[in-house]
Structure 1
Amino acid sequence: MLSQGSTWLTPRISFPKGSPGRPLVCFYRPDVCNTTTLLLSEDGDTLFVGARDAVLSLDVSQKEALVIRSKLDWSPSGKDLEQCSMKGKEMMDCPNFIRVLQFLNTTHMYACGTYAFSPRCTYMHTETLLMTSHSSKPEEGRGRCPYDPYQRNTAITVDGELYTATVADYRGNRPVISRHLSEGSHVDLKLDDTLGWLEDPTFISSSFIPSEEKIYFFFSEVGKEYDFIDEFIVSRVAQICTSDVGGQRTLQRRWTTFAKAQLLCQASSELPYNVVQDITTLPPPEGAPADDTLFYGIFTSQWSVNSGQSAVCAFRLRDIKATFSRNYKVLNRDTLRWSTRVQEKIANPGECGLHNASDNTLRFVKENFLADDSVRPVGRSLTMVSHDQNYSHLAAQRVRAANHRDYTILFLLTDAGYLHKAVLLEKGAHIIEEVQVFQKPQPIKNMQLSASKGVVFVGTSEGVVRVPAANCSFYSSCAQCVLARDPFCGWDHADKACMEVSHVQASLGQDVDGGNVEETCNTTPLSPRAGVGPNKLTPGETVSMSLNEVVRLQCPGTSRHAQRLWEGPGGRLSPDLYLQPEDGSLRFLVTSATLGPYLCLSMERGHRQTLAVYHVEQKPTPPPPATSPPPAPTVWMAVKSGDLDLVPSVGVWPKTSAEVKRRADAMPVSSEAPKTPLATKPGGVSLAPGPRDSGSKDGGRQLLAHSPSYLKELVVVSVLLALCLSTLLTAALYSIRQRCRKRTAPQASASDSRGGLAEREALRGESPPRANGKRSNGRTTRNSQTNGQVCTAATTPKGSNGHLPNTPI
């Protein structure tokens, strides 16, 4: 029993499109697009493709190429396209999209297309693809093919008769399940649409079970039996018998064996995944009864809480048959409510051979077509759940492994353009790999599995892509081959290669359930310190870096299920010195303590292996060029400005500045000499590098001859310094002048008349009169001259002793 919880499923290996590890074969032509229908011949050598305005046959027998054999161009006329546009449809939806492509016999096929929203069908020869219709033009395809290219449909042929599930009107409001091309005693049948046997369905797929002589249709529709405020979508399985010919009076030319039941893809205590996306049929193993036939389906949820999630459920034919054999619901015509029938059951709806029953029996099966119970999945649990992928199509295959056990492989196509290959195990599903098939989202696509050839064909809007089911050659070691847990692959100990199980008769190393490398490959586990010790230096890549540089070491891990670890010279790496991002790389600063060997290890299912080895070394200092002489030892020497007239003091040029400048500019400057500026000490002493014994003028001139000249820079600095000093001095003088003017300004007072008399007496040479009979002290005027400017100092009174008053003698 498969018990898959809600664990997060991650593909072990991912192959981007064009990856050399997963080569794909593509068929692209500019005149072929929208390959909506794929049909594979019984021998698996020819793939028939229904595209837009064309039907093709491809030779797929070669592994390295897809070769076109023949092509039929089938496009609407200009008048048909004009009428389609007048109906309000987009021109991009008006071409003829092939939606039905089925074998009628060994020599002919039957094809139907949308044909500008006016479906057409035709017969064609399988070898030449030439139309062989009974009339001069294709026949009407209403009820056999949808009008809209975006509406889903399903079709299947049994004994030359076509069974379809589609819509029968232009607006898509009349769903119908019908039979066409009937021969002999059979007549074309369809559903009785007066009772609402179908409620706005979306048809998914159909499957024929020969032992039951029944065809099962899978679809989703509105569940009218649930009295909810919002419409509740349910997934259904319906059945009809291929021997049905309709009733004699009741249900004439209508199905008498139609019945439907709910498919419930739900885990315990969780919301159901109620919208079916695709269904595929897996026949039972050889020798097993037909009741063991499995139907694998992809389901999504209509509620936002499960948005972005997809679930896979498996249903057994035995459970479907048991559900149809139990009680049925009945519809109350007055209240339009469904209820469980409590009266005695007259007949068993869905039972074959009711066309000869009485009218009372046919009326009973006409009103009781909905099973009361739901079909539960195998083990009453989900097969697998993807929390981050929306699956759209799937295919299933049973594979015999090296241990002679059968495993189920699912190929799931995502909306993002990836094909997932998953193996179903007892502990849950394991996604072996994912392969990117196309980059742009494809609105219409199909998938066809060829189990005999081991190939999956995917139809995209640009063409067809061929994906091999097995990729054993990618695994280069026994550990990788076993850890893949792929039932297709096993390790051949004699040839030292990972081989396909079906191609090798000898026993191969393989462990699909456990992935135990040590037991399967007969190896010993890698010790934690293997290859890192001082005496065991594992060969690897040498990385030369300078000190205080940041180095990044990559770990080339391919498995997403493996945990990548790093080991350095000191064993475990301290998080204070090393950074390990999520991509598995290692970053650190190169110091004397971080030099040495580094190993990237992976741990997967208990197996430890080395992925990369690095030896981080210090980059050696490059030697000087051979043409340059070795530089002499450099010392700093003090040179006075008087002794070396070529080195002026800072801010002051000697009197012969013009001559010095001329001589300095004429001096040759060596381009190889280091550009070391002259250092100047206070007092006009310059420090210049030179030899220890050079203290004379000749030595200084020789030193300057091999040193760079800074005369121009020194002139500029001196001029700027002189300008700054002049500006400051001017500002200071202006400030002093303003203060002098304020202190000598005349002031109005009561003694102005007295002062005027004294001035007149002084001009006449007379002494001023004494105050109180005494002669007053005279005022002394003192002139001071500063920078050519004259200002009058204030007269200060003195005492009788000639000194300033209040000043000690």
Structure 2
Amino acid sequence: MLLECAVAALLVALGASHLPSSPRIRAGWAGGKRFPFTTKEQHVTLYHENGASSVFVGAVNKLYYYDFETSKSYVEPFEVTHSKCSNPSHAQNYLTLVANFKGKLLVCGSNACSPTCWYWVDGKKEPGIKALGLAPFYLEQNSFVLFYEDNIYSAISKNGENLIRFRRVRGPWDLFSSDKLWSKPELVQGAIIKNEEAYKDKIYIFFKEDNPEWSKNVEAPKRISRVAQLCAGDGGGTGGLSSSKWSTFLKSTMHCFDNKTDRHFHLVQDIFVVHSEDWAETKIYGLFSNEWGYSAVCVYSVGDITKIFETSPLLDFTGAFPGLRPGTCIREGKPTPAYTQKVGTNHPEMEQKVKPRDILFHNKHRYQKVVVHSVQAADEQVYNVLYLTTENGTIHKIVSLPDGPMNILEIQPFAIPAAIQSMVLDSTKNVLLVASENEVVELPLAMCEVYKDNCESCVLARDPYCGWIDKKCTSVYTTRESLQSLTSKVPQDICSQHSSFSTGEPPEVTCTRVPLSSRYYLNCSLESHHAIYTWVHRDNVVAHCVPDKDPCTHFIDQVSTDSEGEYACVSREHWFEQTLVTRCLTVVPPADQQTETPSGDQVLANFRESKLLDSSPTELKMVHSMGPQDNRATATSFSFWLKLLHTVVVFVLLK
């Protein structure tokens, strides 16, 4: 049974597909600043003002504050005094909303099924506004909130029910959405787009809902993505209950598809808005997924979306069209005519679909969140850079280049790997704030030091934030007079007139004594997804790695005298070749091998003390012997299988 488990685990380890698309780094190596929490937090929400050095973190029963420049911090308790929850697991105060409202910091939480808001002023709590509709009764409920001037819009239930309605909870008067407008919606993101005339300012809601076509066609997707448009100053309808209902709500299906591969992505996961001075040119970056777990990013313009709502026929509507088109914004918040509101409520869906201007890419990662930043590179051109969070808590940095998008970096932001709960972009300070259950990290957008101090590595990174100048890979925010090549094919002679100074010199050769007939691993971490990696021994290639595997591993199944000598891990990207790791193996003859069998406690102790757990990124060695500190092998069958199993476990953990 032990043999079967060991072999099965070994097959899993060697067959596991880890898919980094770029180099991997940790925050501390890239100038990241860390703020660890006092406890592991089940829930985290961030509030950060653009250009500020501080961050507020709404958590469970507490509010954190931290200043990344001064290191000033405090934790303010927001504990529950009395619970109204029937379920004890809900009896916490989950701070779900931290925002600036009328110049004050507004903090709202579930408060054990009794939603409550406070103002946080000069380090003190003050009574806040009425919280119904601003905080959920418990964490699992929807917590969708939008701010527009002195108005607040929300899809949070006011009585704890699961029925989702979109409301204006703070403003001239309350408005709520009709139940006919959507079917089991899951709200993803919202945006306020200002027009040249204030009364035409729009609210856009991006959401998923049940597809009415699914019951008629089993091949249709069960859930589909929508965008809804409303007038921010909606005046409601005329007479009775209609005066309290939204009168401008319309929706359309969002398509995200690739014509070349005929792949469709039906489920919107996240939205990021890149505003423009011309409101019609404001771009909507939509992150979508499909039933296979693949992700895609499609780009839409607000002008195109608006045109659909202004010109498309209403789906399934055959009656006389109203004089005032449904969805039209009316000056001074005057009520919508009754017939116009009736037609819009009964037929809110557009016949035409919203199609993307562009699909940037799709791949086999299941991304969770997206942030987009624009950077002016050394060539004075502006490039859009996408930051996408993965399921395993890393961030992929993807740049949109003239000849196609390129994944240039994978970032491991946290000291302890964990899922990313929140991500905020500061486009003034050019940093990214990322939160997990353990900490908040401030990451610089320009992480030029990770590309090493040689010209070739810096230029081949194709990072618009970084260029080569004065023997250093330098941020364009320091100087734009640096060497860059933001194309897929970098000229071979680009660095010929620039000193390619390397701080590391050739990699140091490290020799290791290895027992005869043992098993041994040589590992080399990938520095670029776009390079080819090989292990070379005595001028022969002994291992060849595809770029989407990390690390590049050479496994010696049985060490022999032919295994002795020097091994080099060599990367080649286009015309640039470099040796990343050099290792030397010396085979220990049988006469030098130890014959005693270590106990289980000895094996466990050596496992805990092993340098394997904190080995450098460029080396991970695994020998079947884990006996005394001289690393000599034992000869018994039990010891062999015990150590083989231990080796497999360590390998799986480190993978």
Listed as ranges, the gaps of 5+ residues in structure 2 are 1-17, 501-505, 546-550, 589-655
Query: Deviation of residue 32 (structure 1)?
Result: 7.2
Superposition RMSD in Å: 3.5
Of the candidates 265, 279, 282, which is equivalent to residue 273 of structure 1? 265
Is 2:60–2:95's contact at 8 Å kept on the other side of the alignment?
yes
Of the candidates 202, 206, 210, which is equivalent to residue 218 of structure 1? 206
**1:710-742 CA deviation, whole Å, 9 max, x = no partner?**
xxxxxxxxxxxxxxxxxxxxxxxxxxxxxxxxx
Residue aligning to 2:285 = 296
Of the candidates 146, 150, 155, which is equivalent to residue 160 of structure 1? 150
Q: Within the alignment, does 1:377 sit opposite 2:352 as a pair?
A: no
Query: Deviation of residue 618 (structure 1)?
Result: 11
Of stretches 482-491 and 609-618 in structure 1, the one that deviates more from structure 2 is 609-618
Change in Cα spacing, 1:409 to 1:129, as seen in structure 2 (3 Å) is farther
Listed as ranges, the gaps of 5+ residues in structure 1 are 1-7, 331-338, 527-537, 620-809
Counterparts of 2:456 and 2:24, CA distance in 1:
18
**1:209-240 CA deviation, whole Å, 9 max, x = no partner?**
12251121111111235543668211111122
Of the candidates 462, 473, 489, which is equivalent to residue 466 of structure 2? 489
**1:454-505 CA deviation, whole Å, 9 max, x = no partner?**
221122223322222221112221111112111111111xx20001001114
Change in Cα spacing, 1:556 to 1:369, as seen in structure 2 (3 Å) is closer
Counterparts of 1:99 and 1:181, CA distance in 2:
18
Of the candidates 1, 23, 29, which is equivalent to residue 13 of structure 1? 23
Q: Secondary structure at the match of 2:136?
A: coil
- 1:52-91 to structure 2, matched below 5 A, reads 52-61=60-69, 65=71, 67-68=72-73, 70-77=74-81, 79-80=82-83, 83-84=84-85, 87=86, 89=87, 91=88
Q: Secondary structure at the match of 2:89?
A: helix
- 1:650-661 to structure 2, matched below 5 A, reads none
Percent pairwise identity: 25
Code of the aligned partner of 1:51 = A
Counterparts of 2:154 and 2:38, CA distance in 1:
31
Counterparts of 1:544 and 1:440, CA distance in 2:
31
Counterparts of 2:30 and 2:533, CA distance in 1:
23
Q: Secondary structure at the match of 1:452?
A: coil
Residue aligning to 1:171 = 161
Residue aligning to 2:126 = 131
Counterparts of 2:471 and 2:449, CA distance in 1:
11
Change in Cα spacing, 1:548 to 1:315, as seen in structure 2 (3 Å) is same
Of the candidates 199, 205, 213, which is equivalent to residue 189 of structure 2? 205
Residue aligning to 1:191 = 177
Of the candidates 603, 624, 642, which is equivalent to residue 572 of structure 2? 603
Query: Deviation of residue 566 (structure 1)?
Result: 5.1
Of stretches 369-378 and 142-151 in structure 1, the one that deviates more from structure 2 is 142-151
Counterparts of 1:120 and 1:542, CA distance in 2:
62
Change in Cα spacing, 1:273 to 1:94, as seen in structure 2 (3 Å) is farther
Change in Cα spacing, 1:243 to 1:609, as seen in structure 2 (3 Å) is same
Counterparts of 2:144 and 2:522, CA distance in 1:
54
Counterparts of 2:115 and 2:146, CA distance in 1:
17
Change in Cα spacing, 1:449 to 1:13, as seen in structure 2 (3 Å) is same
Change in Cα spacing, 1:345 to 1:132, as seen in structure 2 (3 Å) is same
Code of the aligned partner of 1:11 = S
Residue aligning to 1:741 = none
Change in Cα spacing, 1:240 to 1:72, as seen in structure 2 (3 Å) is farther
Code of the aligned partner of 1:314 = V
Is 2:118–2:125's contact at 8 Å kept on the other side of the alignment?
no
- 1:25-424 to structure 2, matched below 5 A, reads 25-30=33-38, 33-61=41-69, 65=71, 67-68=72-73, 70-77=74-81, 79-80=82-83, 83-84=84-85, 87=86, 89=87, 91-106=88-103, 108-125=104-121, 127-133=122-128, 139=130, 141-173=131-163, 175-182=164-171, 186-193=172-179, 196-211=180-195, 212-224=200-212, 227-228=215-216, 232-249=222-239, 251-268=242-259, 270=262, 272-284=264-276, 289-301=278-290, 303=291, 306=292, 308-330=293-315, 339-341=316-318, 343-344=320-321, 346-353=323-330, 355-379=334-358, 382-387=359-364, 389-424=365-400
Counterparts of 1:421 and 1:450, CA distance in 2:
16
Counterparts of 1:42 and 1:436, CA distance in 2:
23
**1:380-424 CA deviation, whole Å, 9 max, x = no partner?**
xx322231x322222111111111111111111122111221112
Counterparts of 1:546 and 1:155, CA distance in 2:
61
Counterparts of 1:615 and 1:51, CA distance in 2:
51
Counterparts of 1:547 and 1:464, CA distance in 2:
45
Code of the aligned partner of 2:24 = S
Residue aligning to 1:541 = 509
Counterparts of 1:9 and 1:617, CA distance in 2:
33
Code of the aligned partner of 1:207 = A
Q: State the TM-score, normalized to the length of structure 2.
A: 0.75
Which structure would you say has the larger Rg? 1
Query: Deviation of residue 92 (structure 1)?
Result: 3.3
Query: Deviation of residue 584 (structure 1)?
Result: 4.8
Is 2:90–2:112's contact at 8 Å kept on the other side of the alignment?
yes
Q: Secondary structure at the match of 2:244?
A: coil
**1:299-323 CA deviation, whole Å, 9 max, x = no partner?**
223x3xx1x3222222211211111
Counterparts of 2:403 and 2:349, CA distance in 1:
35
Q: Within the alignment, does 1:583 sit opposite 2:557 as a pair?
A: no
Counterparts of 2:347 and 2:263, CA distance in 1:
28
Is 1:113–1:119's contact at 8 Å kept on the other side of the alignment?
yes
Counterparts of 2:325 and 2:467, CA distance in 1:
51
Change in Cα spacing, 1:313 to 1:129, as seen in structure 2 (3 Å) is farther
Q: Secondary structure at the match of 2:118?
A: strand
Counterparts of 1:364 and 1:520, CA distance in 2:
64
Counterparts of 2:357 and 2:68, CA distance in 1:
36
Counterparts of 1:324 and 1:556, CA distance in 2:
51
Change in Cα spacing, 1:270 to 1:516, as seen in structure 2 (3 Å) is closer
Residue aligning to 2:436 = 460
Counterparts of 2:544 and 2:567, CA distance in 1:
13
Change in Cα spacing, 1:249 to 1:540, as seen in structure 2 (3 Å) is closer
Code of the aligned partner of 2:114 = S
Query: Deviation of residue 255 (structure 1)?
Result: 1.6
Is 1:248–1:356's contact at 8 Å kept on the other side of the alignment?
yes
**1:270-289 CA deviation, whole Å, 9 max, x = no partner?**
453222221111123xxx62
Relative contact order (C-alpha < 8 Å, sep 6+): which is higher? 2
Code of the aligned partner of 2:395 = L
- Total equivalences in the alignment: 547
Q: Secondary structure at the match of 1:252?
A: helix
Is 2:142–2:155's contact at 8 Å kept on the other side of the alignment?
no
**1:312-336 CA deviation, whole Å, 9 max, x = no partner?**
2222112111111123435xxxxxx
Q: Secondary structure at the match of 2:152?
A: strand
Change in Cα spacing, 1:489 to 1:327, as seen in structure 2 (3 Å) is same
Is 1:35–1:463's contact at 8 Å kept on the other side of the alignment?
no
Is 2:326–2:341's contact at 8 Å kept on the other side of the alignment?
no
